């Protein structure tokens, strides 16, 4: 009796898909073998698509057939054996030369003496089915992308919602992803640091088909880099080499995304922190002679009677070139820093006047921003028109695909930037007044910080009010203030008899509050809010022009 191999296959190894396929095939083929009196030498079950060759179980069956262990094959249909020309050709060749004497399906038989066109047509139809299915699937996914619907698995921070068949924000992970972007945008973190941050907040690798027990580990560098450079988080996505405007909700602003891209491009490594930072004022000053950093040293002096005295000296590191600057004791340096902060402190009455002026300018700027918003809306309409023209030109084959994709990506990026600018403008004067209000607060706090023993607070205050690191030359602090602080100091000198600096327990209180208020008005006369805000270097000049119109 001729021995037969029974071969059953389904196209996926996922258990919840084609659940009855294998069992149904086995049941029908076993019943068929029993009715026809066929002897089944072995059963081969495979869970893999036949669109590509190199299926391990199929290859094992064909090897055993070639060795003579069986001369017949039982299968549901020929497309279970092959859907690609290589495997189909091997079966046809084995059948033609008699290595396979008989192929039995549930509805017909195939023999070496049959017309070769019959089996060739059936294998060709099976192969064409795969080609058509692939083309139809690609076309469907492309149409989905054109509608703004992401046709792939959602990235971290989103999920594929099967109820609405859309990509939805996963609120908990979205906050973590946003925090990761903020952290990396600061420029002090490596990709490994971001991976650890995500891991500590519950974002890790997932199990794979091959390693079901895997996953649960921190993401790799390239995975973190892919997350940080994924435009999906700002509402755009790239599919099949082309950029599309998505319908999903962005969780990252375009401004933050651009900052992260700049960090990824420029460095990718953190600034190395000094291994030895023994004192709080280290990193604040630079040498006025050679420009090197100022460091601190701990010195211990032992007396003959056994007493020990500890001293801290600040000195130039002298790492750039030889330097003649002498060291300075910590107490002397701290006293000079406190005195410097007092010079740039903002009196409380002046702060109140500036705040009132800022509130007024905020209202005026809110009204003025409407005209700019209308102009940008017009530009958005122009971009939409250009997108339509570019798409039409591409469909009419007037431009190449590469030019079309490049132009479309640039237009979408410009559109996204304008949309965010409009959002910022709709907030009125809040965006550009925030730096001003921050400067008012920092300057007002400088007086309190000057009399505080907290050296870290003094260091932070000095850095906020200086345009660059202060210099230390000939044991004296050379302070380079930012322009608004410099203007404040000049006005205070001019109106010193009316200025009031914060002091503890109400000491040195002003004799006349009306005098302080008149001094603040004098400052307003010389340096209005817009001028001071522009000195902060955080406010676009065109925004200031809007506020003055």
Catalogue all structural domains in the chain, each as residue range(s) with its CATH number. 3-140 (3.40.50.1390), 158-266 (3.90.1750.20), 339-549 (no CATH)
Return the SS3 of 323: coil
**138 — alpha (psi -120 to 50), left (phi > 0) or beta?**
alpha
Residue 56 has a pLDDT of 93
Residue 542 has a pLDDT of 37
- Does the model's pTM come out above 0.75? no
Residue 33 has a pLDDT of 92
Structure tokens at 344: 């740039």
Residue 272 has a pLDDT of 53
Residue 212 has a pLDDT of 62
Cβ atoms within 10 A of the Cβ of 188, count? 13
Question: How many angstroms separate the CA atoms of 466 and 482, rounded?
Answer: 5
Contact by Cβ (8 Å): 10, 45: no
Query: Among 266, 263, 275, 254, which residue's Cα sits nearest to residue 186?
Result: 263
Question: How many angstroms separate the CA atoms of 442 and 450, rounded?
Answer: 12
Cβ atoms within 10 A of the Cβ of 337, count? 23
Distances 383 to 154, 168, 232, 246, 401 between C-alpha atoms, Å: 28, 28, 21, 17, 19
Indicate the DSSP class of residue 511.
S
Distances 318 to 313, 315, 324, 333 between C-alpha atoms, Å: 15, 9, 9, 19
Residue ranges of the chain whose pLDDT lies below 70: 13-20, 208-214, 267-278, 426-432, 495-549
In order, the DSSP letters of 173-227 are: HHHHHHHHHHHHHTT---HHHHHHHHHHTT------SS-TT---SPPPHHHHHHH
Which residues are registered as beta bridge partners of 221?
Answer: none
Query: Among 299, 318, 345, 326, which residue's Cα sits nearest to residue 476?
Result: 326
Residue 503 has a pLDDT of 43
Contact by Cβ (8 Å): 27, 45: no
């Amino acid at each position: 009796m001729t021995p037969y191999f029974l071969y059953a296959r389904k196209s996926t190894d996922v258990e919840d898909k084609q659940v009855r396929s294998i069992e149904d095939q086995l049941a029908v083929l076993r019943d068929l073998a029993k009715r026809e009196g066929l002897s089944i030498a072995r059963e081969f079950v495979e869970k893999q698509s036949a669109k590509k060759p190199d299926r391990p179980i199929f290859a094992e069956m064909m090897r055993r057939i070639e060795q003579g262990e069986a001369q017949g094959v039982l299968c549901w249909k020929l497309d279970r054996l092959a859907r690609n020309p290589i495997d189909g050709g091997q079966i046809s060749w084995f059948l033609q030369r008699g290595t396979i004497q008989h192929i039995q399906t549930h509805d017909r038989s195939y023999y070496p003496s049959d017309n070769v066109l019959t089996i060739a047509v059936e294998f060709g139809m099976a192969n064409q089915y795969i080609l058509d299915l692939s083309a139809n699937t690609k076309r469907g996914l492309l149409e989905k992308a054109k509608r703004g619907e992401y046709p792939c698995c959602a990235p971290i921070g989103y999920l594929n919602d099967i109820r609405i068949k859309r990509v939805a924000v996963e609120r908990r992970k979205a906050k973590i992803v946003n925090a990761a972007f903020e952290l990396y945008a600061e420029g002090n973190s490596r990709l490994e640091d971001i991976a650890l941050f995500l891991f500590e907040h519950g974002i890790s690798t997932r199990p794979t088909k091959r390693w079901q027990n895997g996953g649960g580990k921190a993401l790799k560098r390239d995975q973190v880099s892919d997350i940080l450079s994924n435009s999906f988080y700002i509402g755009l996505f790239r599919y099949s080499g082309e950029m599309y405007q998505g319908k999903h909700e962005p969780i990252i602003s375009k401004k933050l995304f651009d900052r992260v891209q700049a960090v990824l491009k420029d460095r990718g490594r953190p600034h190395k922190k000094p291994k030895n930072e023994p004192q709080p004022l280290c990193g604040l000053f630079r040498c006025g002679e050679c420009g090197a950093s100022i460091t601190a040293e701990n010195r211990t002096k032992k007396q003959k009677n056994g007493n020990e005295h500890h001293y801290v000296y600040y000195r130039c590191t002298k790492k750039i070139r030889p330097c003649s600057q002498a060291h300075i004791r910590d107490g002397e340096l701290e006293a000079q820093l406190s005195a410097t902060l007092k010079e740039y402190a903002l009196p409380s009455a002046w702060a109140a006047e500036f705040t009132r002026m800022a509130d007024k300018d905020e209202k005026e700027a809110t009204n003025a921003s409407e005209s700019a918003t209308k102009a940008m809306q017009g530009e958005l309409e122009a971009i939409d028109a250009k997108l339509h023209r570019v798409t039409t030109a591409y469909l009419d084959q007037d431009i190449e695909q590469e030019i079309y994709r490049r132009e479309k990506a640039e237009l979408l990026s410009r559109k996204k930037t304008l949309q965010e600018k409009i959002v910022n403008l709709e907030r009125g004067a809040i965006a550009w007044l925030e730096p001003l209000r921050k400067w008012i607060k920092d300057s007002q706090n400088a007086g309190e910080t000057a009399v505080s023993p907290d050296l870290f607070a003094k260091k932070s205050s000095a850095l906020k009010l200086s345009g660059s690191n202060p210099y230390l030359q000939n044991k004296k602090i050379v302070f380079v203030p930012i322009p608004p602080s410099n203007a404040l100091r000049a006005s205070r000198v001019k109106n010193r008899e009316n200025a009031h600096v914060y002091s503890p327990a109400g000491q040195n209180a002003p004799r006349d509050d009306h005098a302080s208020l008149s001094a603040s008005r004098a400052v307003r006369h010389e340096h209005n809010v817009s001028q001071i805000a522009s000195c902060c270097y955080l406010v676009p000049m065109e925004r200031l022009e809007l506020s003055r119109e």
